[in-house]
Amino acid sequence: MSRILLVLFSTALAACASADPESWPFDATPVAGFDEPWAMTFLPDGRLLVTEKPGRLLLVSQDGSSSVVHDAFPELVYGGQGGLGDVVLHPDFAGNQLVYISYAEAGDGGLAGAAVARASLRLDDASGRLEDFEVIWRQVPKVTGRGHYGHRIAFSADGYLFISSGERQKFDPAQDMQANLGKILRLNDDGTVPADNPFAAQGGVAAQIWTLGHRNPLGLAFDGGGRLWNHEMGPQHGDELNLVVRGENYGYPIVSNGDHYDGRVIPDHDTRPEFAAPKAYWVPSIAPAGFIIYSGDLFRGWKGNGLIGGLVSQSLVRIEFDGNSAREAERYSMGKRIREIEQGPDGSIWLLEDGKGGRLQRLAPKSM
**Is 13 in contact with 310 (CB distance < 8 Å)?**
no
**Is 56 in contact with 357 (CB distance < 8 Å)?**
no
Determine, following the binding rule CB under 5 A, whether residue 176 of this chain makes contact with Ca ion: no
**Is 58 in contact with 52 (CB distance < 8 Å)?**
yes
**Nearer residue to Ca ion within complex by CB, 184 or 266:** 266
**Nearer residue to Ca ion within complex by CB, 167 or 268:** 268
Report the distance separating Cα 314 and Cα 310, nearest Å.
Answer: 5
Could you say which residues in the range 106-135 bind Ca ion, by CB under 5 A?
A: none
Nearest to 27 by CA among 312, 342, 299, 304: 299
**Nearer residue to Ca ion within complex by CB, 73 or 252:** 252
Question: How many chain residues are in contact with Ca ion, going by CB under 5 A?
Answer: 4
φ, ψ of residue 191 to 5 degrees: the values are 90, -10
Q: Which stretch binds Ca ion (CB under 5 A): 36-44, 301-309, 319-327, 330-338?
A: 36-44
Report the distance separating Cα 329 and Cα 305, nearest Å.
Answer: 9
Residue 67, amino acid: S
Q: Quick check: is 148 catalytic?
A: yes
- Catalytic pick among 148, 151, 237, 269: 148
The pattern of x and - marking residues 259 through 298 that bind Ca ion according to CB under 5 A reads x------x-x------------------------------
Q: Which stretch binds Ca ion (CB under 5 A): 8-16, 67-75, 123-131, 258-266?
A: 258-266
Question: From the CB of 68, what's the least distance to Ca ion, in Å?
Answer: 19
Rule CB under 5 A: choose which of 10, 31, 36, 41 binds Ca ion: 41
Long-range CB contact pairs, 120-128, < 8 A, 24+: 120/96, 121/49, 121/69, 121/93, 121/97, 122/97, 123/43, 123/45, 123/59, 123/97, 126/67, 127/59, 127/67, 127/69, 128/59, 128/67, 128/69
Question: From the CB of 268, what's the least distance to Ca ion, in Å?
Answer: 4
Question: From the CB of 342, what's the least distance to Ca ion, in Å?
Answer: 5
Question: From the CB of 349, what's the least distance to Ca ion, in Å?
Answer: 12
Q: Which stretch binds Ca ion (CB under 5 A): 125-133, 173-181, 252-260, 304-312?
A: 252-260
Q: Which stretch binds Ca ion (CB under 5 A): 34-42, 90-98, 115-123, 346-354?
A: 34-42
**Nearer residue to Ca ion within complex by CB, 157 or 201:** 157
**Nearer residue to Ca ion within complex by CB, 239 or 268:** 268
CA gyration radius, the chain: 19
Report the distance separating Cα 130 and Cα 365, nearest Å.
Answer: 36
Strand partners, 132: none
**Nearer residue to Ca ion within complex by CB, 291 or 321:** 291
HSE on the CB side for 237, CA within 13 Å? Answer: 16
Question: From the CB of 196, what's the least distance to Ca ion, in Å?
Answer: 27
What number of helices (H) and strands (E) belong to the chain? 2, 24
Interface ranges with Ca ion (CB under 5 A): 41, 259, 266, 268
Which residues are catalytic, by number?
148
